[in-house]
Amino acid sequence: MSEEKPIVGERGESEKKKDRTLKEYCSDFIKEGREWKLTPRSFFFSFAWLGILFLLVDLLSKWLVQLNVRPGSAGGEIWVIPDFFSIYLTYNQGSAFGMGGGSMAMRVIFILVSWIASILIPLFHLHYLRKNDPWINAVFALCFAGAAGNLIDRTFYWNETVGFSGVIDFFCFYIFGPNEAPFAIFNVADACLSVGIVLLIVIYLVRFVIEAHAKNGK
């Protein structure tokens, strides 16, 4: 009689994966990203430069407004498109578009969230670079610029250090007319984050439709 060999099933492999520590999992996660080869072409399509560029644009635009426009309507609202779009300097201690402002507890929470996002986004970007997906790379770049741009404001801009407190917002839109409250007041970082999230949803919806159509066509 032939000796039966033990069969290692899928359950055994999954159990081994569960036994891995968080440190080992994170190490493998980052190691996969290191398989990406840096070349001029791969760097361009990584869109890492785009994230850095928009971060610099965000910081520069905030300080240009801060140094040249007084906060609030008393400083003179600068109309770009009459009765629709203006430059209106304000300080937001909450999240994007003014949500949760005025509460120190909420600001601390948003600071922690911004730090976590600013660390995780580059890690995931590094991990997925090996997949050579320019669209997703662009999403990561935009989201990093948005998270890091407002992170700097929330963490370092306090009355005791710079004379004002919170995130610098200045793009002001009056969707419902100049006599109504502004629809939104935001900055470049907010715009990057919003565009990145919308772009991510559109990408996955389009790819889902394409894959479903391909399967049905077989």
Other CB atoms within 10 A of residue 52 CB: 14
For 196: left if phi > 0, alpha if psi spans -120 to 50, otherwise beta; the answer is alpha
Question: How far is the C-alpha of 146 from the C-alpha of 95, rounded, in Å?
Answer: 11
Q: Are 142 and 117 in contact (CB under 8 A)?
A: no
Query: Is 169 noted as a catalytic residue in this protein?
Result: yes
Tokens (6 digits) for 91: 């300080």
Q: Determine which one of 19, 28, 58, 190 is catalytic.
A: 190
Q: How far apart are CA 132 and CA 84, in angstroms?
A: 41
Active site residue 19: no
Annotated active-site residue in 19, 28, 133, 169: 169
Q: Which residues, listed in sequence order, are joined to residue 81 by a DSSP beta bridge?
A: 85
Would you please indicate which residues are annotated as catalytic (active-site) residues? Answer: 169, 190
